[in-house]
């Protein structure tokens, strides 16, 4: 993991990193089951690994499975200081968290406010066209309730049209609106609100004519707004949101409704 971090921690092609133990890093072994210290890492090593991840990854957001809440196989309940580490939570069967049960318990254990400082995501398995319609009908509500930033879509492209997938994708993560854009000859004042379901977890800067604000949009929670002063203006100012985490050809879009 140290070598991986040295190579990829600042690589914009890597959005988020899911890590852990067991099959697919999901903290379980189907057959013969988890035997801690035998076919599954012992708890001291797991704790060491989590602290090591925090040390090595300075930029890239990393997540562990909600299954890591089970005290018999992981150290988090016995070592509550581990909960302060900056990892997010992923759920590989997201729809099962929509009702009380095992998946919901895992999310609750790691903290209902963890999304405010680390991403929430995972995978949504799609079994049929009927199942896809059921998931799609509740998607916006549940993505908002759990403050989802990303979701592996499994077979959704098989069952849904591209415009439907685009709407479901847009229901996740941050969403920005420019509420104020005042410009002088040499400076600008900008107010940006987040009306998405989660903050952005990487630095992203409002910029005018390519000149960035000193402060980032990172951590701006849903329903919050932030004021920026930028040392650029003029008669034809161009406002953008810039981030070194974007891959070439991508941009952060925003809405704007401003009075003349």
Q: What is the pLDDT of residues 18-59, one digit of tens each?
A: 999 999 999 999 988 889 999 999 999 999 999 999 999 999
Alpha-carbon distance values, 197 to 136, 145, 182, 188, 255 (Å): 17, 8, 27, 28, 15
Fold of domain 176-256 = Immunoglobulin-like (2.60.40)
| 229/251 Cα distance (integer angstroms) | 21
pLDDT of 260 higher than 70: no
User: Which segments of the chain does DSSP mark as H helices, in order?
Assistant: 2-8, 43-56, 102-110, 129-146, 156-159, 162-170
Give me the percent of the chain exceeding a pLDDT of 90. 88
Q: Which two tokens stand for residue 40?
A: 């599954």
88/117 Cα distance (integer angstroms): 8
Stretch(es) of the chain classified as CATH 2.60.40: 176-256
pLDDT over 70 percentage in the chain: 99
Q: pTM for this structure? A: 0.92
According to DSSP, the β-strands at 188-194 and 176-183 are antiparallel
If we measure between CA atoms, which residue out of 239, 243, 244, 238 comes closest to residue 254?
Answer: 239
What whole-number distance in Å separates Cα of residue 206 and Cα of residue 228? 8
DSSP string, 142-157: HHHHHTB---B-TTHH
Give per-residue pLDDT as tens, 204-250. 999 999 999 999 999 999 999 999 999 999 999 999 999 999 999 99
């Amino acid at each position: 993991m140290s070598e991986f971090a040295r190579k990829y921690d600042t690589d914009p092609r890597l959005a988020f990193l899911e890590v852990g133990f067991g099959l697919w890093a999901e903290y379980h072994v189907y057959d013969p089951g988890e035997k801690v210290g035998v076919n599954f890492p012992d708890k001291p090593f797991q704790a060491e690994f989590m602290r090591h991840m925090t040390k090595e990854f300075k930029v890239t957001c990393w997540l562990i499975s909600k299954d890591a809440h089970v005290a018999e196989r992981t150290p988090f309940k016995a070592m509550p200081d581990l909960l302060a580490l900056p990892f997010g939570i992923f759920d590989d069967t997201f729809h099962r968290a929509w009702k009380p049960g095992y998946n919901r318990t895992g999310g609750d254990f790691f903290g209902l406010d963890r999304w405010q400082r680390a991403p929430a995501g995972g995978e949504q398995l799609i079994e049929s066209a009927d199942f896809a319609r059921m998931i799609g009908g509740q998607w916006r509500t549940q993505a908002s309730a759990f403050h989802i930033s990303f979701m592996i879509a499994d077979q959704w492209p098989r069952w849904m049209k591209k415009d439907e997938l685009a709407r479901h994708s847009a229901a996740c993560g941050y969403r920005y609106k420019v509420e104020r854009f005042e410009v002088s000859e040499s400076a600008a004042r900008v107010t940006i609100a987040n009306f998405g379901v989660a903050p952005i977890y990487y630095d992203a800067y409002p910029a005018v004519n390519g000149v960035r604000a000193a402060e980032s949009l990172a951590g701006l929670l849903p329903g919050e707004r932030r004021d920026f002063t930028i040392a650029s203006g003029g008669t034809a100012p161009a406002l953008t949101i810039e981030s070194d985490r974007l891959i070439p050809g991508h941009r952060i879009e925003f809405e704007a409704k401003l009075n003349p």
